[in-house]
Structure 1
Amino acid sequence: MTQLPLDDLTAAVARIRGLLLTEEKVDRAVSLLAKAIKESLPGSPGAGVSLLDAEGKRTSSAATDSLVEKLDAAQYELGEGPCLTSWAAGKVVIIEDLQTDTRWPRWQTAVASLPVRSVVSAPLVAGKEALGAFKIYSALPGQYDESTGRALALFAETAATLLAHIQGTEAPLRMAESLKASLASRDTINRACGMLMERQGISHERALQQLIQNARVSGATLVEASEQLATRVPPAGL
């Protein structure tokens, strides 16, 4: 089981903080953060950082290798996967073995030929703003557990604060104020997920996945898609 060296990760953020705050470039920030994760972890797993807009589409991202780029690209193309779920739900997502985890069937099928078995993703949340997600991929099964997730979440919180500062001072801003407000409304998203779970008898992950898909198809934000669902009268019998 891989243990995240939280002190090393935090030190890595501290080392690059001064440089990032002077250059104030989001793309460089996510690149250095992805590299810091990879260099701080044993076994050199693949790592990535993504900043997302209201529909779960990338506004900025960085990956430590081409494998991570392929794994991430499949998520954003299909509109499902652990990184998107982590961002949308605001929680750590862990896959112990991708071969047996069926929460994201289309993504699982799309990356079946790639050397990845374990995944952990943590949301980048600064205050009430959901900026994106960290993710780590390993070729071995059973590499990450809840303690791994807690450590990564703490690191992600520190990194998100740094990224939020850079986004707030970079010109032009990467996120509009309306987007920031919409991403903060977790209660609306959770209510909509609960309604789908009750009506269709599906899991929270599947309900959230369906909301993301609805938002992408309609061009609405995730919150707007959730509000539309909450105000829609269900068909008879549901």
Structure 2
Amino acid sequence: MIKKYPLDELSTALGRIMGLLLTEEKVDRAVQLLSRAVRDAIPGTIGAGVSILDPHARPLSSGSTDSVVERADALQYELVQGPCLTAWATQQSLVIRDVATETRWPNWSAAVVDMPIRSVVSSPLMADGEAIGAMKIYAAVPDVFDDSTTALMELFAAPTATLLSHIQTTEIPERISESLQSALYSRDLINRACGVLMERHTLTEDEALQQLMREARVSRSTLSEVSAALLGVALDRPRGTSDGLR
């Protein structure tokens, strides 16, 4: 059955987005308002956010409505897989009815198993025929979103992409550069840590990654933090990992 959404609520949310084209100059503030508008307009949504990606699929998250979105996004970037990255790469919207039974991104699905994320929609942000990023929403229970949700998300994605493609600030190049450097460093740490575990315990690459993810969940740390602890190197940010993998 096609879900019905209050027209007045949707119109108000879209109006807020279109107004940003004329009134907002800062990317962070604009995208944050966009994410809140999407979250508030789509029933069942607990969080929303936008990922701005460079041509090499290196991500920069912006405007997340809560820490759950930030953490789920960070895991996609660290594992180099997930619905947001796939929506960008294929330039098509994706619906996950239940993360617990989803098989397209096994490592990401396993990594978010303890989070309040069961339903997901990711839509590409298209500007001048190019995907400049992706917008996503999360729900805490399965089967919240369907094809009608995808159509609604694409309504939001169009003005969002227009907004982001036209905003220019002197902060953008530096912020993106720093984010990409951090993402590449994290990816290298995880790959090196997997290599160490494979050699020490005669594991396959997938088994090594699964062990890292288990340690991350137990210690409530990121994959990068666990990998850094295993390798005996320091991260720029504080970490609270255990030494369970040593």
**TM-score, scaled to structure 1:** 0.65
Confirm or deny: 8 A CA contact 1:71 1:111 kept in the other structure: yes
RMSD: 2.4
Deviation at 1:98, TM superposition (A): 0.7
| Large movers: runs of 4+ above 6 Å | none
Counterpart position of 1:162: 163
Asked whether the equivalents of residues 98 and 119 of structure 2 are also in contact (C-alpha less than 8 Å), the reply is yes
Q: Distance in 1 between matches of 2:71 and 2:97?
A: 20
Distance 1:109 1:40, change over 3 A: same
Instruction: Give runs of aligned pairs for residues 181-196 of structure 1, distance below 5 A.
Output: none
Aligned match of 2:170:
171
Q: Secondary structure at the match of 2:141?
A: coil
1:111 matched to which residue of 2? Answer: 112
TM-score, normalization by structure 2:
0.63
Runs (5+) with no aligned partner, structure 2: 175-246
CA distance in 2, matches of 1:60, 1:27: 10
TM-fit CA distance, 1:7: 6.1
Q: Deviations over 1:190-214 (max 9, x none)?
A: xxxxxxxxxxxxxxxxxxxxxxxxx
Higher relative contact order (CA 8 A, sep 6+): 1
Tell me the secondary structure at the aligned position of residue 56 of structure 1. coil
Aligned 8 A contact 1:4 1:152 in 2: no
**Conserved 8 A contact 1:6-1:152:** no
Higher gyration radius (CA): 2
User: Kindly tell me: are residues 151 and 84 of structure 1, through their superposed partners in 2, closer, same or farther at Cα, counting changes over 3 Å?
Assistant: same
Q: Does the 8 A contact of 2:35 with 2:63 survive in 1?
A: yes
Alpha-carbon contact 2:44-2:144 (below 8 Å) kept: no
Does 1:64 find its partner at 2:65?
yes
Q: Secondary structure at the match of 1:158?
A: helix
> Aligned AA for 2:73?
D
Figure out how many residues of one structure are paired with residues of the other and give that number.
173
Q: Describe the superposition over 1:44-63 as per-residue Cα deviations: whole angstroms up to 9, x where unpaired.
A: 42111111112222234121
Alignment of structure 1 residues 69-108 onto 2, 5 Å: 69-108=70-109
Whether contact under 8 Å (1:3, 1:148) holds in the other structure is no
Kindly indicate whether the alpha-carbon contact (under 8 Å) linking 1:49 and 1:62 is maintained by their aligned counterparts in 2.
Answer: yes
Report the AA paired with residue 171 of structure 1. T
**Cα separation, partners in 2 of 1:100 and 1:90, compared to 1, 3 Å:** same
